[in-house]
Amino acid sequence: MTGAGGRVRRERRRRGMSLEALAGRVGKSKGWLSMIENGRLQLNGFSDLVALAGVLQVPLPSLTGIPCPGCPFRLAPGGGSNGR
């Protein structure tokens, strides 16, 4: 699977997180996250991307697949910048 959903799944699995755990941490349902990961629902909301990146502790480009040279930071858990 490619696209943001596939990248979310890859990062979630790398961290050994369940669908339920990640969905709960971003305030969404397990079904919503499953549909995102399976490409049945597009991940369009910036706030959802930021929340997922924050919980997974990855830079946004890791989920979007779009390079961001001006984004030299990771998001802290909860979505805030931690400076690196």
Contact between 80 and 54 (Cβ < 8 Å): yes
Alpha-carbon gap, residue 47 to 70, rounded angstroms: 19
Percent of the chain with pLDDT over 70: 79
**pLDDT (0 to 100) of residue 26:** 96
Whether the per-residue pLDDT at 83 is higher than 90: the answer is no
Which CATH superfamily is 3-64 part of?
lambda repressor-like DNA-binding domains (1.10.260.40)
Q: Decide which of 79 and 74 is more confident.
A: 74
How distant is the alpha carbon of residue 10 from its chain centre?
A: 10
Span 11-50, pLDDT tens digits: 999 999 999 999 999 999 999 999 999 999 998 888 999 8
State how far the alpha carbon of 49 is from the alpha carbons of 2, 37, 63, in Å: 16, 13, 8
